[in-house]
Structure 1
């Protein structure tokens, strides 16, 4: 079966990075994190602390993992209303994991802070499907296989070995994939869109077929056959879980693939149209413009200037 999750994350150009390792040897402290373009993650290596946003206060302890998919501004503090000792902007690029330290007494709290970034044109395909906060306790991390990755990240961050920063980035990538697996595995977590569809074996069959063969002339009947369902039952279930009708999803996936192919000047618009199931470049151009508001040629000319295209 085609791996839909892997393909979507590849298209999104997932890139994990560890921004800093923080040691706080004092009480009555808070770290302020500005709004970030990517998804922020925090791992508590030692001690306890709180996540504080405008709407939430969550107590964190050793081994906990916290992700803010929308990059919401927030504080990590030893208690609510503690004075701020640092203002951290995770949007800044760093060549290596920064080491930050405050105080020299006890209690001691250690944190790893990082960011998951995605291609700005496609990031809505994952960010819009996730809640503002994803919290994984140490016990859940052990249950879903996250603890091994977290332990490896902490061990690497605490060392000073060759290849440290490259390995931290790769481990962060692996962490996000495992987080998605864990999120899907827990039936208490709400999911929708293509993520929600991956929870249903029948709809997963249809999604796998679409992703494996975007060039085929898909109809609702053909997709229903792949899912081993009647046409009406399949259409209703797909629309309910994914949020759009089956053929709308087919079109949107084709358009996402097209934006990637358009980056390669060696592939003509005619060839792209054929690869994603259009009989002519004219039909493809019309579909592309309906989806994005501009033609494939306009997109290709302006690819270097990503700022003019919407992030979400």
Structure 2
């Protein structure tokens, strides 16, 4: 039987490539019943905290905003790892009463807590254009809503505790994160930054080329060709959207990926230089130091 190339997936989309390269992981670590007087804050971990109300209700307290009630299937995400408080009361608790033992009386709220994390972080945050807090209200009345479907699956898995459920819920949480990004874009909430550029049909092609083949001898002209744009139009659009020139972005991406290789492999600096698109180890070392403010050797000896 002859092969039909049309049945195979084409090149992965820009967001998929970047999430893979940044090694996005999701972890659910709490599925608990909170009762009586309680207050939690999971910010400050250098990850992306989230809370999902399984049943019952709670209150979100966030600096600069009025307290907001959360109900069953409401999801709260903190893209910039901001400190926050989720509690049983509309009145914000005193700082000394946050993350202390609950009183174990009164109404019960089931809450699922977890983190999203980029295991291979970059200098330019992917989520910088998102707000400090995202509150996604339940859409139980919309049975085909993707996030609602995923939330329902997660809660069912947590309740049933069938073999493999730990892995299953983490994978579902991963999918929730992807859907959150999609919905922010669909709602028109993001029009700039790296995330906005990834969803741009033309700029996304150039970014995909950089992310997948950083070792290539890219120039402004060849990147513009990837985007099917003229060189001047591409340079202007890229800089306005991303906040960096295409070549500056290319250098930063190369150096952050090089740092990851220094941390996770035994490749020599010369080999990593080649994988980063440099023929000269000296040129690579100079670019690395100018971009990251450290030497390649300090990563392995520090």
TM over 0.5: yes
- Alpha carbons of structure 1 residues 265 and 159: separation in structure 2 relative to 1, 3 Å: closer
Aligned to 1:22: 32
Task: Give the alignment's Cα RMSD to 1 decimal.
Answer: 2.8
CA distance in 1, matches of 2:76, 2:209: 34
Runs of 5+ unmatched residues, structure 2: 1-10
CA distance in 2, matches of 1:102, 1:44: 19
SS in 2 for 1:73: coil
SS in 1 for 2:85: strand
Give the TM-score of the pair, scaled to structure 2.
0.84
- Alpha carbons of structure 1 residues 124 and 47: separation in structure 2 relative to 1, 3 Å: farther
Deviation, 1:207, is 0.9
Maintained 8 Å contact 2:34/2:110: yes
- Alpha carbons of structure 1 residues 111 and 123: separation in structure 2 relative to 1, 3 Å: farther
CA distance in 2, matches of 1:118, 1:237: 27
CA distance in 1, matches of 2:151, 2:103: 23
How many residues align structurally?
A: 288
- Alpha carbons of structure 1 residues 102 and 165: separation in structure 2 relative to 1, 3 Å: farther
Match runs of 1:154-303 below 5 Å: 154-187=155-188, 189-302=189-302
SS in 2 for 1:262: helix
Which of 3, 28, 47 aligns to 2:13? It is 3
Give the TM-score of the pair, scaled to structure 1.
0.81
2:51 is equivalent to residue 42 of structure 1: yes
SS in 2 for 1:277: coil
Aligned to 2:98: 87
Q: Which moved more, 1:145-154 or 1:262-271?
A: 262-271
Aligned to 1:92: none
Maintained 8 Å contact 1:17/1:169: yes
Maintained 8 Å contact 1:44/1:112: yes
Deviation, 1:30, is 4.3
CA distance in 1, matches of 2:120, 2:51: 22
Runs of 5+ unmatched residues, structure 1: 90-99, 303-312
- Alpha carbons of structure 1 residues 225 and 143: separation in structure 2 relative to 1, 3 Å: farther
- Alpha carbons of structure 1 residues 177 and 297: separation in structure 2 relative to 1, 3 Å: same
Deviation, 1:267, is 1.6
Could you give the per-residue CA deviations for residues 202-222 of structure 1, whole angstroms, max 9, x where no partner exists? 111111121222122211111
Maintained 8 Å contact 2:120/2:260: no
CA distance in 2, matches of 1:199, 1:8: 12
Could you give the per-residue CA deviations for residues 219-259 of structure 1, whole angstroms, max 9, x where no partner exists? 11111122121211111111011110111111111112111
Could you give the per-residue CA deviations for residues 112-139 of structure 1, whole angstroms, max 9, x where no partner exists? 1112233385376234343210121223
Could you give the per-residue CA deviations for residues 52-101 of structure 1, whole angstroms, max 9, x where no partner exists? 11212333222221101222222223442165796339xxxxxxxxxx98
CA distance in 2, matches of 1:261, 1:249: 18
Aligned to 1:32: 40
2:14 is equivalent to residue 13 of structure 1: no
- Alpha carbons of structure 1 residues 209 and 269: separation in structure 2 relative to 1, 3 Å: same
CA distance in 1, matches of 2:102, 2:169: 19
CA distance in 2, matches of 1:82, 1:245: 44
Maintained 8 Å contact 1:22/1:101: no
- Alpha carbons of structure 1 residues 228 and 12: separation in structure 2 relative to 1, 3 Å: closer
Aligned to 1:133: 133
Maintained 8 Å contact 1:34/1:87: no
